[in-house]
Structure 1
Amino acid sequence: MTAADTTETSHETQLRDRVIAGLEAAGVAGPFGELEPMLGGHSGLTYRISGADESFVIKSVPPGQKAIGRHDMLRQARIMTALADTDVPVPGIRATDETTPGWFAMDLVRGESLEPVLDDPAVEPTLAAARMRRAAEVLPALHAVPLDSLPVDGDVLSPADELKRWSRTMGAVPPELVPDAARFEELLSARIPDAVDPVLVHGDYRLGNILSDGTEPAALIDWEIWSPGDPRVELGWFLVFADGTNFPGVGRVVEGLPSAEELIDTYSAAAGPLTDFTWFDALGRFKMAAIMGHNLRRHREGRHHDPAQELLPDTINRLIVTGIERLA
């Protein structure tokens, strides 16, 4: 066992003791099982632990990491706690601990969180279509939660701010990896829409972040980057994942998925009509191309070896080409 393995084991032993103490204080009965690592995002450590009758997901700040931004686990707990009595499905928060490194425990919600056009195993097409329609119906409920009822702690990003944010990411990618990105950015910059009243946005709203029980959304998870913002940014991002042709060589076409027009109509029926949405549709593609270009660059520079990144160039090109087509 290496020194790093010993340190990791010691951290998990200490964390387990703290989690058990916190759950017992919240009235959860033992005996408790081990902390079992779970696959998840890269912003924190994720575990599963079971008591006598219940199971929980534990999210913890990595040791030595400051609880800032994506790594602020308790910020996620605060927003899910605030949403507990709303129409937005979220896991129940059962215990929190602000002692460094902070952690929280939430109910383990049963369900699948699969992106039909990207993830394996493939979702049966009729089921995938039903889940996507339900997600479009739930999104207006998220955007309708009054901001003054939430622990808002950040700046509101306007459409111009969103473009600047992703332009910085795109600008750090070698131009040969993102052909025509400069033209794409120029077209976006030339017609930035006016801002609308901000709403609560999840920041990464898609089926891959929704635990579905059959066709029903059981819980919206992964709240690392929630903020007040423009609802059209969120819908534009969601639609990127509704069309497998956006991901040649990376994803799959799923027959029978609702069209972008149907999903927009579903959202608008509850939230009201959208203005300037073509721009936000294009922005979602620009954002995804920038993220993929950044990941491909890191791989080719040896900073994060992942041969799967070599599958991205066709998708990056497709996103840029279709984004330009929407604006030109």
Structure 2
Amino acid sequence: MRRAIGEGEVTDCMRLTGGATMESWRFVFAGEPYVLRRAPSLEFMAERPFGHDSEAAIVRAAHAAGVTAPEVVADLEPEDSLGSGFIMRALPGTPDPRAILAMEDASGLLKEAARDLARIHAIKRDALPDNVPELDYAEGIAGLRQQFEEAGGDRPIIALGLKWLADNVPETVEPVLNHGDYRLGNLLAEGSRLTGVLDWELAHFGDPHEDLAFGCMAVWRFARYDRPALGLGSLEDYFAAYEAESGRKVDRERFRFWTIYRTVWWALGCLRMAQIWRSGEDRMLERVVISRRTSEQELDLLMLLEEDAPEEAQSEYSHWFDDLEDTESGEATMPEVLTAVAEWIGTIKEQLQPHDQFQAAVARNALGILKREEMDGGWDLHFHERAIDRAEDGIGRISTEALKTLRMRAMAKVKVDSPKYPALTVARKKWTGED
């Protein structure tokens, strides 16, 4: 900070809650608040498409383009011995989705979110680092399929999603800069005004509909499932505000494709959390708990896909649900969750800091999962070991019996893993008629 700003002292350093991959630390220097975004080691960044130097450059370009992005003031250097990262001026507002969803002028906030997204999509390549990747649609689907195989390849709904994506790849459009993680949780707001756009580590070039769709997924609406645009309002209002700012027309079919793509993407991302924990790369408790949120995405994915399902069967899938031997792939097992909780308890100090308070809440969630699994059981959503082959006929030829089985198993799994997930209530009403 002295190198970047001048004389002063660092005080009030505190790790912020959240952050499943990177750390964020808030501190005061010379009377002004700042945030350090960092990875604990250079090895942690090894497999990422670009490093923190490029991420900081992207944030600087967004800030210069009028996006409500932070001002980057310093990049970490090796001699700092702080790992990899950069420092930004702290912005006002809260990232807490529930606090944002409770703000009075949700529609005004939605318009500002659409405005900033349009501004991100207008940033030119020559203002950005050369190593910002571009998503090839078909290669992206192939990568998801590979992740699925590596995670055990035994989830029927994900297999159907991958088949649907392969059958419905849209024509390529002129790529724009995508934020890559544009949703509640990565937006700051105060007084119904957008005050910050955070977490640019997934930025890439691609279809603008991908960014539009990601923030509208059911999981990122939190308690406001009924407001499909970022949990803040209607898709019609979101699209109209985006179109007015960008001059670009929103295509509903492309929006649906990217909604399904990103739902599969996040389902596999949840599964991968358990494998990261198993590997020892990061033993944070949150990883094993997030792995159990795979079932949320499977529920959402099935509701998206079944629009294409037939009334009557053309193929039989009764052999899909064979028993599988336990493997060290896919979601965390009960013993692994228990081990993770035990390891976390060993780290508790006499006085809890905010980040540890957050971890305590995660621990309670983990124990709740185990209690519900022990008391209620519930079906696994495992597939025959060659799930991807069994799904080759796709959702368009699934039998009525198989679709009913998937629905029942999906609801039972979410009831154990995440019983307050808003989409569960919607699915139960839609599929069973029960409130």
Give TM-score scaled by structure 2 length: 0.59
Q: Is the 8 A contact 2:168 2:257 kept in 1?
A: no
| C-alpha separation in 2, matches of 1:167 and 1:277 | 25
What is the 5 A alignment of 1:158-307?
Answer: 158-174=136-152, 178-241=155-218, 244=221, 251-253=222-224, 257-274=232-249, 276-296=251-271, 299=274, 303=278, 306-307=288-289
Partner of 1:10: none
CA distance in 1, matches of 2:268, 2:112: 31
How far apart in 2 are the matches of 1:242 and 1:84?
A: 28
In structure 2, relative to structure 1, the CA distance for the partners of 1:315 and 1:291 (3 Å cut) is: closer
Could you tell which deviates more after superposition, 260-269 or 103-112?
Answer: 260-269
- Structure 1 residues 183 and 216: alpha-carbon distance in aligned structure 2, compared to 1, 3 A threshold: same
1:199 positional shift: 1.2
Q: Tell me if the contact between 2:63 and 2:69 (Cα under 8 Å) persists in the aligned partners.
A: yes
Moved more, 159-168 or 271-280: 271-280
Q: CA deviation at 1:319?
A: 2.2
Alpha carbons 1:233, 1:283 under 8 Å: kept? yes
The structure that has the greater radius of gyration is 2
2:53 maps to 1:74: yes
TM-superposed deviation, 1:255: 5.2
- Give the match's secondary structure for 2:209: helix
Task: Report Cα offsets for 1:11-70 as digits up to 9, x if no partner.
Answer: xxxxxxxxxxxx223334423215322224243332122123201111233135254427
- Please, what is the CA RMSD of the aligned residues? 3.2
What per-residue deviation string (whole Å, max 9, x for no partner) do you get for residues 169-202 of structure 1?
A: 34444455x4333333222222311111111111
Distance 1:243 1:35, change over 3 A: closer
TM-score for the superposition, normalised by structure 1? 0.76
Say which SS state the counterpart of residue 37 (structure 2) adopts: strand
SS at match of 1:94: strand
Shift of 1:127: 3.9
Distance in 2 (alpha carbons) for counterparts of 1:252 and 1:295: 20
Partner of 1:94: 73
> 2-side partners of 1:102 and 1:243: how far apart?
28
Cα distance in 1 between the residues matched to 2:23 and 2:220 = 31
Q: Which amino acid aligns with 2:95?
A: S
C-alpha distance in 2 between matches for 1:254 and 1:317: 14
For the Cα contact (< 8 Å) 1:166–1:286, is it kept in 2? no
Aligned to 1:113: 95
Q: Tell me how far apart the structure 1 counterparts of residues 60 and 289 of structure 2 sit (CA, whole Å).
A: 39
- How far, CA to CA, are the matches of 1:301 and 1:92 in structure 2? 32
Q: Does 1:140 align with 2:111?
A: no
Distance in 1 separating the partners of 2:30 and 2:103: 38
**Which moves more between the two structures, 209-218 or 287-296?**
287-296
Structure 1 stretches of 5 or more lacking a match? Answer: 1-22, 245-250
Deviation at 1:284, TM superposition (A): 2.4
Amino acid at match of 1:155: P
**Structure 1 residue 320 and structure 2 residue 297: aligned?**
no
Aligned-partner Cα distance in 1 for 2:49–2:133 = 15
* Equivalent pair of 2:161/2:301 in contact (CA under 8 Å): no
Bigger mean CA offset, 198-207 vs 128-137: 128-137
How big is each residue's C-alpha offset from its partner over 1:252-282, in whole Å with a ceiling of 9 and x where there is no partner?
2355642223322322233234465424423
Say which is worse superposed, 260-269 or 200-209, in terms of deviation. Answer: 260-269
Q: 1:154 aligns with which of 110, 132, 154?
A: 132
CA distance in 2, matches of 1:313, 1:235: 23
The answer as to whether partners of 1:282 and 1:323 remain within 8 angstroms in 2 is no
Q: CA deviation at 1:153?
A: 1.0
Tell me the equivalent position of 2:86.
104
Q: Secondary structure at the match of 1:41?
A: coil
Provide structure 2 residue ranges, at least 5 long, that are not aligned to the other structure. 310-395, 397-435
Q: Report which stretch shifted further, 193-202 or 292-301.
A: 292-301
The corresponding residue for 2:15 is 37
Q: For 2:297 and 2:135, locate their aligned partners in 1 and report how far apart those are by CA, in whole Å.
A: 27
1:62 alignment partner AA:
P
